[in-house]
Amino acid sequence: MASLAMNTVLRAVAPAKVDEPPAIGAELWSALINLAGRQRMLSQRIVLMALLADRGDGSARAAALDALRQFSAAHTRLVRGGDGLPPPPALLRQALAGPAGEAGGASAEAAVRDFAALAEQALRTDVALARPALSQLVERATPVLALLNRLTQLYETLARDAAARAQQRQAGLIGRIERIAGEARFVALNARIVAARAGSAGREFGVVATRLVEVSAEIEGLSREAMR
């Protein structure tokens, strides 16, 4: 069964061990937050569809299996990276390896895998085997949702921190550009004075110095515009 193969892959996943993950840009942070939020929504859809399937809804089981497939795929991408997403940074790896609280499992990452395994058992066609797992799945639904909420909030916090650091770097870079432009303008003004004293012999030098003053002013104007 496709879901069995999918869950086998899921159980083999462990938080990626990456000492220094590459810097994550704003677009990737947004994608990670959206995927984490989607996983949170899918966890509740799985439980709802499993309950409806247990009550005889013919289409609910297929919908639950599809939601479980998406849930497991999202978990793999968040834990390992890939398909355009980076491996999780250190703080997220620590959170995934940390305690899951009431969600079950030895770690947050294990709790999510265990939830997926329970869902797979609850969606068996053999009702006698599925019912006990369904009861456990319902019990885990709220704690797992709380866990996924915490992880999503951590993504959001890290994204805000990364944006703040990027803004600080930009401000520092623009400050350096402005200082260099100011120094260049000062040198150019002195050069114009020297050129004026040199008379006709310094005329061409004076033209270059004037242009350097203009360029310095343009650079400072662009720096101020970039900070708005």
pLDDT in tens, 124-154: 888 778 899 999 999 999 999 999 999 999 9
Position 148, amino acid: L
Residues 140 and 201 reside in one and the same domain: no
Judge if 120 and 215 occupy the same domain.
Answer: no
Structural domain range at position 175: 171-226
Same structural domain, 157 and 213: no
Arithmetic mean of pLDDT over the chain: 81
Average of per-residue pLDDT across 53-70: 92
Total count of domains within the chain = 2
pLDDT at 41: 95
**pLDDT attached to residue 226:** 65
Same-domain status, 10 and 123: yes
The CA angle 39-42-44, to the nearest 5 degrees, is 120
Do 49 and 31 reside in the same domain of the chain?
yes
Q: What is the pLDDT of residues 81-94, one digit of tens each?
A: 888 888 888 888 88
Do 184 and 144 share a domain, yes or no? no
Same domain? 48 vs 64: yes
Do 184 and 103 sit in the same domain of this protein? no
More confident residue, 184 or 57: 57
- List the end-to-end C-alpha distance of the chain, in Å, as a whole number: 56
Domain termination residue (choose one: 154, 169, 184): 169
- Give CA separation, 201 vs 33, 61, 195, 209, in Å: 65, 90, 8, 14
Q: CA-to-CA distance for 118 and 116, rounded, in angstroms?
A: 5
Q: How confident is the model at residue 106 (pLDDT cuts 50, 70, 90)?
A: confident
Per-residue pLDDT, averaged over 160-188, amounts to: 80
Do both 180 and 77 map to the same domain? no
Note the pLDDT of residue 12: 38
Q: What pLDDT is attached to residue 59?
A: 93
pTM (two decimals):
0.69
Maximum mean pLDDT: which of 21-25, 59-63, 161-165: 59-63
Q: What is the pLDDT of residue 112?
A: 93
| pLDDT at residue 7 greater than cutoff 70 | no
